[in-house]
Amino acid sequence: MKIDEVPNDAGKLDGEKELCYAEDTDGNYVAVQSEGWEAKNIALDQAWEYIQQQIEKALKNIHQGAVSNLAYYMAQNQMDISLLSQYSGFSKRTIKKHLKPKYFNQLEEDVLKHYASVFKISAAQLKQVPTE
């Protein structure tokens, strides 16, 4: 990559800049800042679209009564059962149980608080999910 080919397609860095390596006019390598690159932005968008789909899917299932609120906060935090199990210390089996509304609704306050702390929210927030 030549120095004048370093892309500046802004969008994903919240105004930050990242460093790229490129050849200057004499063919010597220099480090230059870049605001981003279209190819990367597209790949990132795709990854977030997928996360968004997971969140919407979770919400739909919650409103149909198929799963508990846990599913929404897991999707929002990009966690699957295995990762949540590692963060919470609960076994995968326990989490699967808590994903069922019937068991989730009977959970004691300290268990809810524990889950909430993993997601960096309050227990009260955990009891609610957006309507759509």
Partner 1 sequence: MNIKLDFTHHQTAHCETGATANLLNFNGMQTTESLVFGIGGGLFFGYFPFVKLNYVPLTTFRHAPGKIFNSFTRRLGIKVERKNFKNQTQAMDELDALLAKGKPAACQTGVYWLPYFPSAYRFHFNAHNIVVFGRQNGHYLVSDPNMDHPVTISYEDLQRARFAKGPLAPRGKMYYPVNVPENVDLVKPVRKGLKEIAFNMTRIPFPLVGVRGIRYVARQLEKWPQSLGPKMAARYLGQLIRMQEEIGTGGAGFRFLFASFLQEAAEILSRRELMELSHAVTAVGDRWREFALLGARLIKGRSQSKDVYPQLAGILRTCAAQEERIFTDLRKIQL
Crossing angle of helices 81-88 and 109-119, rounded to 10°: 110
Q: Does 56 help bind partner 1 (rule: CB under 8 A)?
A: no
Q: Does 4 help bind partner 1 (rule: CB under 8 A)?
A: no
Q: Does 9 help bind partner 1 (rule: CB under 8 A)?
A: no
CA distances from 61 to 26, 35, 100 (A): 60, 39, 11
Q: How many residues does the chain have?
A: 132
Q: Does 12 help bind partner 1 (rule: CB under 8 A)?
A: yes
Angle at 97 between CA 92 and CA 101, to 5 degrees: 140
Given 50, 65, 122, 124, the residue binding partner 1 (CB under 8 A): 50
Min CB(115)–partner 1 separation in Å: 14
Report the DSSP beta bridge partners of residue 19.
33
Q: Does 91 help bind partner 1 (rule: CB under 8 A)?
A: no
| Residue 39 or 65 with smaller CB distance to partner 1 | 39
Alpha-carbon distance of 113 to 124, in angstroms, equals 9
Min CB(95)–partner 1 separation in Å: 13
Q: Does 124 help bind partner 1 (rule: CB under 8 A)?
A: no
Q: Does 123 help bind partner 1 (rule: CB under 8 A)?
A: no
